[in-house]
Amino acid sequence: KFDVKTIKETECICRYFHREVIPERKEIRKFASEAGENFALVLKAKYACGDDNAKKAMDIYKDILEKGECLYIKDLAISGNDIKSLGVENGKEVGAMLKFALETVLDEPHMNEKHKLMEAVKNRLGMWKLRKACLGLWNPSTSSLTLRKLRVLQIIITNVL
């Protein structure tokens, strides 16, 4: 019988061992974010089995950690409360917006500033509202939009965008 820590480490290594390591900063951030706290163990196991990219990736990963780059939702410059302050009440939607913010920061680390992320989230929320409004106005069974619905859609687009 093994302790919980050993089980989690082993699970992580097994889950990610066969994934290709691309030794590029952005790819390492994304891989590390997905693999979690045991990412270094995955790289060590891959290197021990002869994967030369794992050594390069480990150097990049160490630099990412030293510079304090965001890898997890908990490292974001915004929190769920910030998302709620934009009027999002549903927990799943808050989580989806935090995930979107993390993906944004993994792609572009300079975006991990509160005002930049809030603006990005506002834009994403606007697009969600627009999509929901469009889906609510469009009736695929009749394939028609009435003039009234078109006017409502125009108002929504004007206010959202």
DSSP string, 81-109: HHHHTTT---HHHHHHHHHHHHHHHHH-G
State the burial class of residue 106 (Cβ atoms within 10 Å of its Cβ: 0-12, 13-18, 19+): buried
Sequence-ordered list of residues with C-beta below 8 angstroms from that of 109, at least 6 positions apart, any chain: 29, 69, 70
How many Cβ atoms sit within 10 Å of the Cβ of residue 128? 16
Torsion of CA 55, 57, 61, 62, to 10 degrees: 30
Name residue 139's beta-bridge partners.
144
What per-residue confidence (pLDDT) applies to 3? 93
What per-residue confidence (pLDDT) applies to 157? 65
Per-residue model confidence as pLDDT tens for the chain (161 residues):
899 999 999 999 999 999 999 999 999 999 999 999 999 999 999 999 999 999 999 999 999 999 999 999 999 999 999 999 988 888 888 999 999 999 999 999 999 999 999 999 988 887 777 666 666 655 555 555 566 666 666 676 666 55
What per-residue confidence (pLDDT) applies to 32? 97
Full-model pTM:
0.77
